[in-house]
Amino acid sequence: MITIKNEILTCAIKEVGAEIKSLKKDDTEYMWSADPKFWGKTAPVLFPCIGSSKGNKYELNGKMYRMKKHGFLIGKKFTVEEKTESSVTLLYTHNDETLAVYPYQFEFRAIFTLVGSSLKVEYNVKNLTDETMYFSVGAHEAYATPGGVEEYDIIFPYKEDLDAILLDGPLVIDDTKTFAKKVDCFSIYEKYFELDTLIFRKLKSKEVTLRNRKTERSVKVEYPDCDYLAFWHEPGSEFLCIEPWTSLTANANGDYDITKKEGIISLEARSEYNNTHIITV
């Protein structure tokens, strides 16, 4: 476990998976405890895919590959490339295991920096090959909701039409369910997660705040580089995942071609890509 801190926050990050395990202010914990009774993780990093591939496989340049849900960084050991008191850069590089399922040479960096009462999370992807590289990247951070999620609201800076993309098993379909129209405050109920994950496409808001309506305890997540936002909750638990995504999970009505996936990033040869989100408590 790696610890970074400043005058306000203390953050613990696990080298395995580059996973945020703790974010504290004044001894108050804002991350989920990873209770295995419900969900034993806190903040998986999603790369090079988000969600599931159709049939757990995808096609690239006429060849089929296997890909597990949310990609292959979960559970993988990163290397500490650089460390200061308030920041750390973790590096994961292609290897024989990744090349078997994803035929690109790459470097993936997860960079965590504390600034005031915020944690800045940057994902940097370098394409080391001489061809265009296709991928998705996203966050899956679980925030503690003491007292249960039904004591919390999600606050948007703009009024939103909350039309959640529907799922067929692990895959999205071409249909939506409306939860609210023209709202900037969305109260959370357990029953909403009977759909599994609430996924929203291209909201006007590029930030959301999870706020306890009794205590005003809150966490704000800014996601300027993502067009999709997902919320996930395990019924009965005291956490809510706020997940900024660059693309969707595969479409049940689509084909296997990764280059046609909605929101897929295409990174030119020998280029790099940056994606940032900011967590403020």
For 215-256, how does the pLDDT look when each residue is reduced to its tens digit (9 = 90+)? 989 999 999 999 999 999 999 999 999 999 999 999 999 999
pLDDT at 24: 98
pLDDT at residue 195, as a whole number: 80
Which amino acid, one-letter code, is at 140?
A: H
Cβ 155 vs Cβ 162: under 8 Å: no
Instruction: Report H helices in the chain.
Output: 96-101
Which band of pLDDT confidence, cut at 50, 70 and 90, is reported for residue 192?
Answer: very high
Model confidence over 5-18: pLDDT tens digits? 999 999 999 999 99
> Residue 48 above 90 pLDDT?
yes
Q: If 0-12 CB within 10 Å is exposed, 13-18 middle and 19+ buried, where does residue 1 land?
A: exposed
Query: Which of the four pLDDT bands, split at 50, 70 and 90, describes residue 129?
Result: very high
The tens digit of pLDDT for each residue in 15-38 reads 999 999 999 999 999 999 999 999
The DSSP 8-state label assigned to residue 33 in this structure reads -
List of residues 6+ apart from 74 with CB closer than 8 A: 17, 41, 44, 45
Q: What is the pLDDT of residue 126?
A: 98
pLDDT given for residue 194 in this prediction: 86
Q: Which residues of 11-23 are buried (b: 16+ CB within 10 A; e: fewer)?
A: bbbbeebbbbbbb
Where residue 58 falls among pLDDT bands split at 50, 70, 90? very high
For residue 182, name the pLDDT band (cuts at 50, 70, 90).
Answer: very high
Domains parsed from the chain with CATH numbers: 2-280 (2.70.98.10)
**Please, are residues 125 and 273 in contact by the beta-carbon 8 Å criterion?**
yes
pTM: 0.96
Residues sharing a CB contact under 8 Å with residue 216, sequence separation 6 or more, in sequence order:
none
Structural element, H or E, at residue 60:
strand 57-60
